[in-house]
């Protein structure tokens, strides 16, 4: 695609994260002309738990992405601890793998460009929809026209304000912090450790690195002067986390952080834009399946866009209604379950009580894990 002479494409994807790259690759492999507009350059680290459910593995392999051959770590066990250091261990029903966004996004971006997708580093500032087409403008004063626009720009953006999305008007009280470490941690385990006002996910990724990523209420965090101060005064009260932070060595120059994280229910279609990944909705990291959901939503939206472009879906209204329906069918219950679990987990006495029940009824924990995950996705047929 030569964008110097051609400013009209079939599909524009705003955001080149996990959902944006996967949907671009899916569509490109089916012969669709795709443009990604992404503000960052590759590779980069992102604040993310970096555990991915095996439910997406068959689909990723069909896209030419084979995580375990690239150094990803196979994970089959789950550990849960409470603020009062009660511990619960179980096997994961389906299992998963640990892989950094630095490696996964970079690999996907290379694969996407090999498939003929054009990626430009820019920021979308305005989107207008008229006469069944989208008119997209960027910060660098470029303009593009597309039949379809997918929103995959992450948790929140100035675009959400422009589009007048309802969730953006509400307070987003959560802050997340992530870094990689070296040290002693089991390769086949993903752990969730609770502390006052939040919880922390821990798992291995490639190159023997430990990903430690926690989320907390901003009100709790702002009482302290810095991230290290917060960690020593609050996070360390969980014995497992204290041991990790005091024995492991930070490999980043400093931890990454993001604020204003919202778990409000979002609409998967806004102003005729089809949203996927975190842009469509976020599940609490406690459930450990945000990356899996992003990949799954990319698959769902790509399949429907293909049907629409081939005339198998007759109208844009039908396309939008079908996508909203399938998104809600696959993910809405998961998102709501995640909110309930996070609310329970953040109440110390209640979480201890629930943990006691789960120890006596281990099959119940398996059912809870399954309720926030899906079945293995079918491979893409090319």
Contact 63, 30 (CB under 8 A): no
Predicted TM-score (pTM) of this structure = 0.93
Of the CA atoms within 13 Å of residue 240, those in its CB half-sphere come to 23
Cα angle 222, 17, 337 (rounded to 5 degrees) comes to 60
The span from the CA of 63 to the CA of 25, in Å, is 7
- What's the rounded Cα separation, in Å, for the pair 136 and 138? 7
pLDDT tens digit sequence for 160-210: 999 999 888 888 788 999 999 999 999 999 999 989 888 899 999 999 999
Contact 287, 14 (CB under 8 A): no
Task: Write down the pLDDT at residue 104.
Answer: 97
Q: How far apart are CA 177 and CA 179, in angstroms?
A: 7
Ranges of beta strands (E only) in the chain are 8-14, 34-38, 51-53, 73-81, 87-98, 118-121, 124-130, 133-138, 143-151, 174-182, 189-195, 198-204, 210-217, 249-250, 256-261, 269-270, 273-275
Number of C-beta neighbours around residue 192 at 10 A:
23
Tokens of 377: 């996705």
Task: Place 3 in a pLDDT band, splitting at 50, 70 and 90.
Answer: low
Q: Which positions ≥6 away from 151 have C-beta within 8 Å? A: 14, 15, 159, 270, 273, 274, 275, 276, 279, 280
Of the ranges 102-111, 323-332, 342-351, 364-373, which one carries the lowest mean pLDDT score? 342-351
pLDDT band at 367 (very low <50, low <70, confident <90, very high): confident
Question: How far is Cα 300 from Cα 128, in angstroms, rounded to an integer?
Answer: 24
> Which pair of tokens denotes residue 223?
């009482």
Of 93-97, 276-280, 365-369, the least confident: 365-369
Q: What is the pLDDT of residues 40-73, one digit of tens each?
A: 999 999 999 999 999 999 999 999 999 999 999 9
Question: What pLDDT digit, counting tens, does each position of 236-291 carry?
Answer: 999 999 999 999 999 999 999 998 888 888 999 999 999 999 999 988 876 778 99
**Better-predicted residue by pLDDT, 215 or 344:** 215
Q: What is the mean pLDDT of the chain?
A: 91
Distance CA 278, CA 110 (A): 22
């Amino acid at each position: 695609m030569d964008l110097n002479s051609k400013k009209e494409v079939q599909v524009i994807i705003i955001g080149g994260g996990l959902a944006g790259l996967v949907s671009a690759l899916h569509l490109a492999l089916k012969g669709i002309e795709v443009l990604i507009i992404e503000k960052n350059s590759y590779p980069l680290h992102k604040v993310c738990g970096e555990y991915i459910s095996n439910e997406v593995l068959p689909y990723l392999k069909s896209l030419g992405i084979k995580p375990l051959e690239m150094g990803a770590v196979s994970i089959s066990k789950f550990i849960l601890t409470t603020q009062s250091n009660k511990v619960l261990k179980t096997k994961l029903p389906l299992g998963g793998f640990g892989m950094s966004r630095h490696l996964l996004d970079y690999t996907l971006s290379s694969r996407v460009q090999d498939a003929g997708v054009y990626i430009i580093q820019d920021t979308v500032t305005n989107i207008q929809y008229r006469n069944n087409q989208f008119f997209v403008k960027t910060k660098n004063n470029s303009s593009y026209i597309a039949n379809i626009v997918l929103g995959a720009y992450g948790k929140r953006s100035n675009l959400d304000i422009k589009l007048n999305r309802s969730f953006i008007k509400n307070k987003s009280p959560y802050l997340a912090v992530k870094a990689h470490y070296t040290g002693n941690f089991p390769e086949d385990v993903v752990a969730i450790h609770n502390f006052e006002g939040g919880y922390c996910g821990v798992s291995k990724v490639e190159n023997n690195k430990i990903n430690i990523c926690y989320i907390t209420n901003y009100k709790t965090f702002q009482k302290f002067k810095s991230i290290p101060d917060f960690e020593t005064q609050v996070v360390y009260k969980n014995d497992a986390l204290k041991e990790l932070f005091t024995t492991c060595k930070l490999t980043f120059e400093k931890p990454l952080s993001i604020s204003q994280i919202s778990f409000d229910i979002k609409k998967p279609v806004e102003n005729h834009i089809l949203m996927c990944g975190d842009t469509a909705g976020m599940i609490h990291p406690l459930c450990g399946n945000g990356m899996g959901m992003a990949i799954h939503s990319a698959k769902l939206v790509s399949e429907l866009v293909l049907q629409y472009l081939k005339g198998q879906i007759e109208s844009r209204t039908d396309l939008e209604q079908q996508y909203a329906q399938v998104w809600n069918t696959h993910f809405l219950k998961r998102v709501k379950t995640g909110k309930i679990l996070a609310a329970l987990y953040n109440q110390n006495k209640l979480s201890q009580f629930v943990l006691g029940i789960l120890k006596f009824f281990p099959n119940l924990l398996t059912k809870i894990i399954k309720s926030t995950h899906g079945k293995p996705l079918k491979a893409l047929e090319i």
